[in-house]
Amino acid sequence: MIPKIKNCFSRSSPKRLWMLLVCVILSMTMFPGCQTSRDSSPPTLRVGVALYTQDDTFIATVSQNLERMAQDTEKEKNLKINLSIADGQSNQTVQMDQVDRFLSRGCDVLCVNIVDRTAAAVLIDKAREAQVPLIFFNREPVANDIQRWEQVYYVGAQAEESGTLQGQLVADAWLADQERWDRNGDGILQYVMLEGEPSHQDALLRSEYAIKALVEAEIEAERLASGTANWNRGQAAAKMSQWLSELNGQIEVVFSNNDDMALGAIDAIEEAGGDSPLVVGVDATAPALEAVKQGKLYGTVKNDAEGISRAMLDLILALTGGTDPSEVVELEDGHYVWLPYRPVTKNNLSEFLEGYVA
């Protein structure tokens, strides 16, 4: 073989040059690992992304944004970013296997939307042993776990803030038009509360801080019912139907820890017919913005899905490119990236619809 190639070089007729070219191309496609460092193929980043479930509107939005932004970055930076996305099916054992697989195949960074927040320590120790930086997002492990290793990060938003903003939104509506919302005219705001998963930081804190904001606005409130619908539209519709029939016209406000459940409540209200109470959610997902536009959802609080994806990608690039993460994102305590929430009603809706330019 070698003398033949030498021959190709020594007697360079056009036909022989063509043969040489074919030989080179063939050997490059058959043995890609043998390409020299002078070839132009871009470096590849391998990123494992473990979602608690793919069947969640907000999480699906974060993951789609991440894919889109990674594709844009590939073009801009002559990089290849291999995102492997795994659906944890709300099962920590399933997710742990997925993480083990990512680590054993050799990924460069791990992004985890953990199913069970109390399982974080085990996961962190696995990542540390493999020396693979770990970015948690949206479901926050306790601070003690985050501090187990300096290469652990959390990207999310502060739940208290969303609760406060949601409560303020309701307080403003109530004070602006109490006659409309105070159905029984007793001066007291009667409400129901649809809660997310009981173990999720966002569920507990949103419920608590929404009501604190009413107290601060000096609005007297009475809780008629509360219960979990696990962030889920169908479960929320079922719960709301039950409350509508049990509470017979007494509900004046529906607080929901997220938009999917608020939309579930609206499904039940529409099914039952009659006047709608004031309904509020959190997230500002696409279907929720549509419901605000139609006047079915009074308002919501934007949970910055794009901001979360952007910060994760910036961290991924910094961690794999040898840049100090604090140069690309605002890091609190060396571990946390916090995205701000923003209230949304019909009044400022246009700022949140696609194509809006500030």
Binding site for ligand BGC (CB under 6 A): 52, 56, 58-59, 138-139, 200, 202, 231, 258, 260, 282-283, 303
Distance (Å, rounded) from C-alpha 274 to C-alpha 277? 10
Distance (Å, rounded) from C-alpha 260 to C-alpha 155? 22
Q: How far is the CB of 262 from ligand BGC (least distance, A)?
A: 10
Give bridge partners of residue 256 from the DSSP assignment. Answer: 194
Looking at 4-12, 44-52, 179-187, 254-262, which segment touches Ca ion (CB under 5 A)? Answer: 179-187
Pick the closer one to ligand BGC by CB: 168 or 300. 300
Report CA 138 to chain centroid distance, whole Å: 6
Kindly list the distances between the CA atom of residue 182 and the CA atoms of 176, 273, 322, in Å, as whole numbers in the listed order.
11, 19, 58
Distance (Å, rounded) from C-alpha 340 to C-alpha 302? 9
Contact 47, 111 (CB under 8 A): yes
139 binds, among Ca ion, ligand BGC, none (CB under 5 to 8 A by kind): ligand BGC
Looking at 19-27, 151-159, 186-194, 340-348, which segment touches Ca ion (CB under 5 A)? Answer: 186-194
Residues for the chain: how many in total?
A: 358
Q: Return the ∠ at Cα 71 (arms to 68 and 72), rounded to 5°.
A: 90
Q: How far is the CB of 300 from ligand BGC (least distance, A)?
A: 10
Would you give the binding string for Ca ion spanning residues 115-154, x where CB under 5 A is met?
----------------------------------------
Pick the closer one to ligand BGC by CB: 54 or 78. 54
Contact 284, 138 (CB under 8 A): no
Give the strand pairing for 221-228 and 189-195.
Answer: parallel
Contact 343, 168 (CB under 8 A): yes
178 is an interface residue for Ca ion by CB under 5 A? no
188 binds, among ligand BGC, Ca ion, none (CB under 5 to 8 A by kind): Ca ion
Looking at 76-84, 176-184, 261-269, 320-328, which segment touches Ca ion (CB under 5 A)? Answer: 176-184
Distance (Å, rounded) from C-alpha 47 to C-alpha 65? 15
Kindly list the distances between the CA atom of residue 264 and the CA atoms of 185, 194, 216, 294, in Å, as whole numbers in the listed order.
27, 10, 29, 15
302 binds, among ligand BGC, Ca ion, none (CB under 5 to 8 A by kind): none
Q: How far is the CB of 51 from ligand BGC (least distance, A)?
A: 9
283 binds, among ligand BGC, Ca ion, none (CB under 5 to 8 A by kind): ligand BGC
87 binds, among ligand BGC, Ca ion, none (CB under 5 to 8 A by kind): none
Q: Is 314 helix (H, G, I), strand (E, B) or coil?
A: helix
186 binds, among Ca ion, ligand BGC, none (CB under 5 to 8 A by kind): Ca ion
Q: How far is the CB of 260 from ligand BGC (least distance, A)?
A: 6
Binds Ca ion (CB under 5 A): choice among 74, 108, 172, 182: 182
Q: How far is the CB of 210 from ligand BGC (least distance, A)?
A: 13
H helices then E strands: how many in the chain?
A: 13, 12
309 binds, among ligand BGC, Ca ion, none (CB under 5 to 8 A by kind): none
Site residues, Ca ion (CB under 5 A): 182, 184, 186, 188, 190
